Structure 1
Amino acid sequence: MGLIRSTLDQLNDNDIALVGIPFDENSSFMQGPAKAPELIIDSIESDSANFFTENLTDLNEHVRVKWCGNAIPSDYQSIRKPIDQILAQRAIPFSLGGDHSMTYPIMQAMAEKHPDLHIVQFDAHGDLYDELDGNRHSHACPFARIMEYGLAKNLTQIGIRTMSQHQKEQADRFGVNVIEMKDWAADINMKFDGPVYITFDMDVLDPAFAPGVSHHEPGGLSTREAISMIQKLDANIVGCDVVEYNPDRDINGVTGMVAAKIVKELLSQLLSL
């Protein structure tokens, strides 16, 4: 029992290609997320749970869901290569990180396929810094790069609770729809027009629910609240990533199981399209 194994060159039209991006070289505080992808898969396949999503989609050997293993990048820009390959085969990329800097090269590939892309970002942090510690590709900067190069038509951020003056100015500059955690409500509109990319940073969750992240930021979403928002998504989802799970800070694999649950519910949404 488990997910179907595949190589990137064996994908079929409309397959969902799970691919690990074990990259954390742009982490600003501590490394560790590069170890996450295979552990998330292990959690999905753990005997402590089953393969059903909450709407009763059975992911066990599902014909459209393929685990393609880790695509180890030779450098930062090469992160986009497996995404290009997945898109060339008319499959849907679902990347497991890794730090959040990987979303920028992923978007370089996605934007060529979907020029009117809308990004929905679940995150404690805006990741809109122009640079951090002299690094314009820090995991604190990917959405500044994405927006300044026009790789997305719109960006909606959910769960932000680390706003700074600079990031507020950046959000205003790029026209970002920021739903800060202090303003969040359970009934927020989750309907989006056009193609949508979902990027889910594990630290959007309160550290009480997901301690295995590099940056503990109290006051976040519960696991149930995050799942409920995913289940309410009304969108044409064309790609996803789940990032910033740091196993080095996890407790008894709890965050790994939470990440697996988030992946399963996102897969459920993709399979319902």
Structure 2
Amino acid sequence: MGPVIHLIGLLTDQNSSFARGAALAPPAIRAALWSDRGNLSAQSGLEIGTDVMLKDLGDLPLSDDDCAADDALILRAVTESMEADAIPLLLGGDHAVTHPILDGPLYISVDLHGIDPSEAPGVAHPEPGGLTVREVLSIIAKQRARIVGADIVELNPARDVNDITAIVAAKLVREIAAQMHQNYDHI
């Protein structure tokens, strides 16, 4: 049996350097993840809810104005998740949410700024020439070590076009969760 994966939302963009709005990302990603217009299958054939146990813990009550206090809440939620033998998969928020939790053999952080804006337009800092979604999925699929946690950050729903970036983020949730499941017994 594989791990339980805890989906945890981080409604914060206090460290955004340009356009705020990433704090609105967790609900947008969840809406795309659970939408009837998509599916819950990963490329590997594993399906969320059938093969991969994903438990949505909701959003942390972050203040979005006190970095130290918010970092402590994030760290506590991640620690509690790991102590429950689950794997945290965090939905940001801005990229600074990764800072308090970087530890362990393999932690995956996907900053949506790094994906080409033709495939992920809903970010504050579009990066023409960025990675394609297919390239990111290929990198995730090549991971063989046990994954101790992950985050997907920097979706700005106010800048998204037809929810394209939210759909990309939901796809990344499925693929990372499936890879966590597949790699669970690896040390």
Question: Match of 1:226?
Answer: 136
Shift of 1:72: 1.9
Question: Match of 1:35?
Answer: 24
Q: C-alpha offsets along residues 173-218 of structure 1, whole Å, 9 cap, x if unaligned?
A: xxxxxxxxxxxxxxxxxxxxxx100000011110111000010111
d(CA) in 1 for partners of 2:128 and 2:27?
Answer: 27
Q: C-alpha offsets along residues 92-137 of structure 1, whole Å, 9 cap, x if unaligned?
A: 1110000011111223xxx3xxxxx3xxxxxxxxxxxxxxxxxxxx
User: Secondary structure of 2:3's partner?
Assistant: coil
| Residue 21 (structure 1) aligned with residue 20 (structure 2) | no
User: Secondary structure of 1:66's partner?
Assistant: strand
Asked if the contact 2:46–2:52 (Cα under 8 Å) also holds between the matched residues in 1, the reply is no
Question: Match of 1:263?
Answer: 173
With normalisation by structure 2, the TM-score equals 0.88
Shift of 1:234: 2.0
| Residue 60 (structure 1) aligned with residue 55 (structure 2) | no
AA in 2 matched with 1:262: L
With normalisation by structure 1, the TM-score equals 0.61
> Among 95, 114, 124, which residue is 1:204 paired with?
114
AA in 2 matched with 1:68: L
| Residue 44 (structure 1) aligned with residue 33 (structure 2) | yes
Question: Match of 2:125?
Answer: 215
| Residue 247 (structure 1) aligned with residue 163 (structure 2) | no
Flag structure 1 segments of 5+ consecutive residues without an equivalent: 1-12, 112-116, 118-194
Structure 1 stretches of 4+ moved >3 Å: 60-63
User: Secondary structure of 1:237's partner?
Assistant: coil
User: Secondary structure of 1:242's partner?
Assistant: strand
- Which one has the largest radius of gyration? 1
> Among 83, 95, 98, which residue is 2:93 paired with?
98
| Residue 81 (structure 1) aligned with residue 76 (structure 2) | yes
AA in 2 matched with 1:225: E
AA in 2 matched with 1:18: L
Shift of 1:65: 1.2
More relative contact order, 1 or 2 (CA 8 Å, 6+ apart): 2
Give the total of aligned pairs: 176
The structure carrying a bigger strand percent of its residues is 1
d(CA) in 2 for partners of 1:229 and 1:57?
Answer: 18
Asked if the contact 2:140–2:175 (Cα under 8 Å) also holds between the matched residues in 1, the reply is yes
Question: Match of 1:6?
Answer: none
Shift of 1:269: 0.3
d(CA) in 1 for partners of 2:134 and 2:51?
Answer: 25
* Aligned-residue CA RMSD (Å): 1.6
d(CA) in 2 for partners of 1:36 and 1:25?
Answer: 13
Q: C-alpha offsets along residues 30-51 of structure 1, whole Å, 9 cap, x if unaligned?
A: 1101000121111011111111
Q: C-alpha offsets along residues 41-66 of structure 1, whole Å, 9 cap, x if unaligned?
A: 11011111111111111113656211
